[in-house]
Amino acid sequence: MSKKRYEALLALDTRGKEDSAKDIIERLEKELKAEGLEIEQVQRLENRELSYEHAHQKNAYFVNVVFSTEPAVIAKLRSKFKLDDEVGFFQFLSLPAKKEAVAA
């Protein structure tokens, strides 16, 4: 099966542990790589106030991850993130294939 590109937006629950957001992101990156993901980019979007409360959470530290993986792995990641207390909520988006650079 061929790998596809995806984008994941993660809202981390850092209540009471704002200084450890970096540690949470590093742990998640290691877990994603262990699942066989090829991570292209990780954007740390900082702590933002939510427009509505989610599970008594008013703020979240947002992280955007662009990666390539087998489509079957996405279901596994959804299950993993649902069980992770530090991931408040998440969204996956399928991206178009990366275009090859053309030599001039």
Strand arrangement of the beta sheet that strand 87-95 belongs to? 38-54, 57-69, 4-12, 87-95
The pLDDT, as a whole number, for residue 7 is 94
For 1-36, give one letter per residue: b (16+ CB within 10 A) or e: eeebbbbbebbbbbeeeeeebeebbeebbeebeeee
The pLDDT, as a whole number, for residue 64 is 94
Check if the beta carbon of residue 11 is closer than 8 Å to that of residue 88.
yes
When pLDDT is cut at 50, 70 and 90, the band that residue 52 belongs to is confident
pTM beyond cutoff 0.85: no
Q: Find the mean pLDDT for residues 39-46.
A: 90
Check if the beta carbon of residue 87 is closer than 8 Å to that of residue 80.
no
When pLDDT is cut at 50, 70 and 90, the band that residue 74 belongs to is very high
Give the domains, in start order, of the chain with CATH numbers: 4-62+76-90 (3.30.70.60)
The pLDDT, as a whole number, for residue 67 is 94
Q: Find the mean pLDDT for residues 60-71.
A: 92
Is it the case that residue 100 has pLDDT exceeding 90? Answer: no
Q: Which region, left, alpha or beta, applies to residue 66 given φ > 0 means left and ψ of -120 to 50 means alpha?
A: beta
